[in-house]
Amino acid sequence: MEFNIITLPVGQMQSNCYLLIAENRDCLIVDPGDDGDYLERIIADHRAKPLTILATHGHFDHIMAVTELKLAYNIPFLINQKDEFLVKNMRQSAGHFLGIQTDPPPDADNFLQENEIIALGGHKIRVIGTPGHTPGSVCLYLEKEKCLISGDTLFAYYTFTGTNSGMMMGMPPTNKSVSVNGVDIVVFKDGKAVEHWEVSDNLGMMKQLGMMPGM
Do residue 70 and residue 124 come from a single domain? yes
Amino acid identity, position 112: L
What confidence score (pLDDT) does residue 145 get?
A: 81
- pLDDT average per 10 residues of sequence, the chain (215 residues): 88 91 96 96 97 95 96 98 95 90 93 94 90 87 82 54 29 39 42 34 40 34
Number of structural domains in the chain: 2
What pLDDT was estimated at residue 2? 86
Quote the CA–CA distance of 128 and 33 in Å, as a whole number.
21
HSE-up of 149 (CA within 13 Å, CB side)? 24
What DSSP designation does 67 have?
H
Domain end marker among 150, 181, 201: 150
pLDDT of residue 109: 97
Same domain as 28, residue 56: yes
pLDDT at 154: 62
Same domain for 31 and 114?
A: yes
Q: Determine the Cα–Cα distance for residues 212 and 215; give it in Å rounded to an integer.
A: 6
Domain boundary among 101, 121, 150: 150
Tell me, yes or no, whether 78 and 173 share the same domain: no
Same domain, 26 and 63: yes
Asked whether the beta carbons of 57 and 80 are under 8 A apart, the reply is yes
CATH code of 76's domain: 3.60.15.10
* Identity of the residue numbered 170: G
- The answer to whether residues 160 and 54 belong to one domain is no
Domain that holds residue 93: 4-150
Q: List, in sequence order, every beta strand (DSSP E) within the chain.
A: 4-10, 15-21, 26-30, 49-54, 77-79, 110-111, 117-120, 123-129, 138-142, 147-149, 158-160, 168-170, 178-180, 183-185
| Together in a domain, 34 and 113 | yes
Residue 143: the pLDDT is: 81
Which of residues 94, 118, 150 is at a domain's end?
Answer: 150
Residues 70 and 139 in one domain: yes
Residues 139, 183, single domain; the answer is no
Q: Are residues 143 and 171 in the same domain?
A: no
Distance, C-alpha 26 to centroid of its chain: 19
Same domain, residue pair 58 and 108:
yes
Establish how many alpha carbons lie within 13 A of residue 30's alpha carbon, considering only the half-sphere containing its beta carbon.
Answer: 26
Q: Could you tell me if 182 and 145 lie in one domain?
A: no
